[in-house]
Structure 1
């Protein structure tokens, strides 16, 4: 379910300390029936076991395949446009004692950090430097839920145009599919 940006900004998360130059693009919640305050690691384990982008089907697969092909054709995803080249990783902004989290070759976003109730991953290319922040909060029904915030730093006017162009696809195809996938992963991981 889509949430207002304040659902992310009002939380006391580390991410706020290192992203003053990023914009909150999207905030979504994912149902995790029966979840308690200590279940964030269980949710992350469920996500690790969930299908990767390569395993998607239907329109989601078509959209991702199209994006990667256009990116390859126009050079959007070249190494010189990515992390450590065009932009520094947000890992460079963290204190040394913050755990960096897990990387997964099946996922284009790289780990920034992983804490008890939040984790962040990032990706940079010619269009944007983007972050996926996952947070664990108590929902209105008393159960804990996963919240995902997407933060972006567009690369100039082209990055802003790109984000505007893909917005309808994020809201009508990508996020609803991600919601189904992540909620299914939670149920499979926990039997709830």
Structure 2
């Protein structure tokens, strides 16, 4: 479910300290019901692919769009090394206050473009950069209003000039029509499967 921007901006996330020049693009509630200590489980699902269990994009339209994006990137040089973190833009780790810099960095995705910036007990930030944008993926673990907890995802972007602004406008309808809905369904399916596996392993009468 898409959330209003205030669900991100009004929470005391540490990511606000290092992204004042980034625009908040989207905020989403993730279908990941859990308890107060399940944030590590959410991070594992983002960073550890499961064989035979597609987690990110699984529908043909969404996969086609991503494949098209990488082909266009190769054609126009959007993803060349000179446009990456540390080359076109400095990493956001250079902006971290001392306590976050000394703390855990967080998981690295094994099959994705993001690089971890920092993590705390209830939030994780990762970044990417190419010729079009410098982007931040932010995950948080928040109360769901019913006594439980759930994940929350925000996307922040800093477009690279007119090219980046045009690129973000161009992809916006495709993100809402196919990419985000497929991503949320995949997250939910994976979370439910993991919850069922944990329940089966615990056995009848065991705490879950």
TM class by smaller structure: over 0.9
| Offset of residue 85 of structure 1 | 0.2
Query: Higher mean Cα deviation, 98-107 or 176-185?
Result: 98-107
Aligned equivalent of 1:58, options 57, 60, 65? 60
Aligned counterparts of 1:124 and 1:154: Cα–Cα separation in 2: 10
Q: Which residue number in structure 2 is paired with residue 120 of structure 1?
A: 125
Please list every run of 5 or more consecutive structure 2 residues that lacks an aligned counterpart in the other structure.
200-208
Q: Which residue number in structure 2 is paired with residue 169 of structure 1?
A: 174
Tell me the number of residue pairs that the alignment of Structure 1 and Structure 2 aligns. 190
Aligned counterparts of 1:98 and 1:162: Cα–Cα separation in 2: 35
Contact preservation (8 Å) 1:32, 1:143: no
Q: Which residue number in structure 1 is paired with residue 4 of structure 2?
A: 4
| Offset of residue 179 of structure 1 | 0.4
Runs of 4+ in 1 over 4 A off after TM superposition: none
Contact preservation (8 Å) 2:142, 2:150: yes
Q: Which residue number in structure 2 is paired with residue 38 of structure 1?
A: 37
Contact preservation (8 Å) 2:43, 2:107: no
| Offset of residue 52 of structure 1 | 5.8
| Offset of residue 104 of structure 1 | 2.4
- For residues 136-155 of structure 1, the aligned pairs below 5 Å read 136-155=141-160
Q: Which residue number in structure 1 is paired with residue 84 of structure 2?
A: 82
Contact preservation (8 Å) 2:55, 2:187: no
Aligned counterparts of 1:15 and 1:22: Cα–Cα separation in 2: 11
Aligned counterparts of 2:109 and 2:25: Cα–Cα separation in 1: 24
Q: Which residue number in structure 1 is paired with residue 19 of structure 2?
A: 19
Aligned counterparts of 1:32 and 1:56: Cα–Cα separation in 2: 18
Larger Rg, first or second structure (1 or 2)? 2
Q: Which residue number in structure 2 is paired with residue 130 of structure 1?
A: 135
| Offset of residue 141 of structure 1 | 2.9
Alpha-carbon RMSD across the aligned residues, in angstroms, is 1.6
